[in-house]
Amino acid sequence: MAVENFWDIIKFPSSADGRMIYKNYINGEWVESSAKKTFDVLNPADGTIVGRVQKSTREDADSAIDAAFNTKKVWANTPAVERSKILSKASDLIRDHKDHIIEMLVEESGKPLLTATDEVLAAAERIEYASEECKYIFGDEMDGHMSPHKIGKIGLLFKRPLGVVLAVSSFNYPLHIGTCKIAPALAAGNTVICKPASDDPISLVLLARIFEAAGLPKGAFNVITGGGKDIGDHLAESEKIDMISFTGSTDTGKHVAKISGMKKLHMELGGKAACIVLADADLELAAKEIVKGSFTYAGQRCDAISRVLVEESVADKLIELAAKELDTWKMGNPKDPNVKIGPVINKWAFETITDLIDDSLKKGAKMVRGGKREGLFIEPVILDNMNLDMRIMWEETFGPAVPFYRVKNYNEALEIANRSEFGLDNCIFTQNIDKALDAGLKMESGTVSINTSPSHGLGFFPFGGDKDSGVGREGIRESIKDMTKSHVVILKLK
């Protein structure tokens, strides 16, 4: 089937200006908002309208909730081998139609072409892995002979789906983060309602078309677009939803947790990853990894390196190497395959990032590289001469700016790293195995990377946050485990 025909079902042109309007996907049908209202999705690189999506109402949210709730037994009772086939088909379809999805991702998120390509292929791979894992969801058998009260009994433990999972994804990796929630939820036998971020929701609408074509039953997967205040709270409060998997800001995550009631929660929230660089480190490696870890997708990543704590004796050399590496990173039109730095997502993000940079400059920081601003573009910034009163040392930056703070020794670096309220990722560069492992055990975050920058990737290794960075862990196998519940049957023997 031709690509243009494949996607036609999910959209229609606006009679006013010809812009495409994308529909909600609820209970296997492509539908408009009950209010017949839409909102614009803008290209952050040039401000043009990419398309329009539904401004959904609570009535629309209830329709999605009911669809998922009414289908949960059907999907839960679908044999794992059949669920696996559908997920595998979806993975293949993403690859078949990747060019269109990549193009949309570049347009709506401002993501550079190479980064968008990696994201789409990673989403396909994540679904493929989930299709395999769903065939290996096993329970256990327990002989009661170990307890005097259970002698003569056998316990059979079964792993069952939770029911309905609400997947709320963030703007920075809209397709991949959404897929990281949706794929394991479906693999485990749950039905799903997905609410994408409003800045770039269309790629997840495209994913709904992929699942529809792959043969997912009506109601097993639903996508509904709209603002958090319009439908987000209503979805989170619903008693028909059994789990919320949320990625976003710490403040919003705390709000969702407060209103969600007795639901299982997975929250991946803010981050402030510290990168410790000791004097014995391979400085060229550290510099390359710091630039990659700080500036990929303009630093708009929860696992981005957000501050560098470097021993004084090698600070000048490391900053020189990092600046030299950054000079090879081109900023510009995200459609240019040579561009590595595009715009930030919106005006609010631009102002938040530039406020943090300006605060540090007012307090004495030195701008080693970058700083030019135009539209939503911020030239990547390296900052030196930092002090601990600067907000950028503590607040989540989520943008293309990284401060280098000079420390006297490893212990000082560790203390400053752990002083943060966040605890998602940290990393250390050293050739001292004792200090590397010590940091791995003592740095207060869900993940500590040694001699590499943090990256959650496909989720082969479990990841998630401590402290204000969230609760729960994600990963290919870990997410499926989190999205099932134990059901025990006890048999008394004659």
Residues carrying an active site annotation: 268, 302
Distance between CA atoms of 218 and 215, rounded to whole angstroms?
A: 9
Residue 223 and residue 252 in contact, taking contact as beta carbons nearer than 8 Å: no
Helix (H, G, I), strand (E, B) or coil at 342: coil
Distance between CA atoms of 13 and 22, rounded to whole angstroms?
A: 9
Residue 311 CA, chain-centre distance (Å), reads 32
From 438, 442, 441, 444, select the one nearest 425 (Cα to Cα). 444
Count CB-CB contacts under 10 A for residue 3: 12
Question: CA 371, 295, 178, 207 torsion: positive or negative?
Answer: positive
Q: What is the CB-side half-sphere exposure of residue 417 using CA atoms within 13 A?
A: 31
Where do we find the tokens 């909102």? 39
Where do we find the tokens 């300006």? 358
Residue 187 and residue 87 in contact, taking contact as beta carbons nearer than 8 Å: yes
DSSP state of 487: E
Q: What are phi and psi of 85, to 5 degrees?
A: -65, -40
Q: Report the helix count and the strand count for the chain, using DSSP H and E.
A: 15, 28
Helix (H, G, I), strand (E, B) or coil at 88: helix
Where do we find the tokens 């989520």? 398
Where do we find the tokens 């401004």? 55
From 411, 323, 407, select the one nearest 371 (Cα to Cα). 323
Report the Cα–Cα distance between both ends of the chain, in Å, rounded: 61
Kindly list the distances between the CA atom of residue 481 and the CA atoms of 34, 132, 268, 370, in Å, as whole numbers in the listed order. Answer: 36, 14, 16, 44
Contacts of 69 (CB under 8 A, 6+ apart): 163, 164, 191, 240
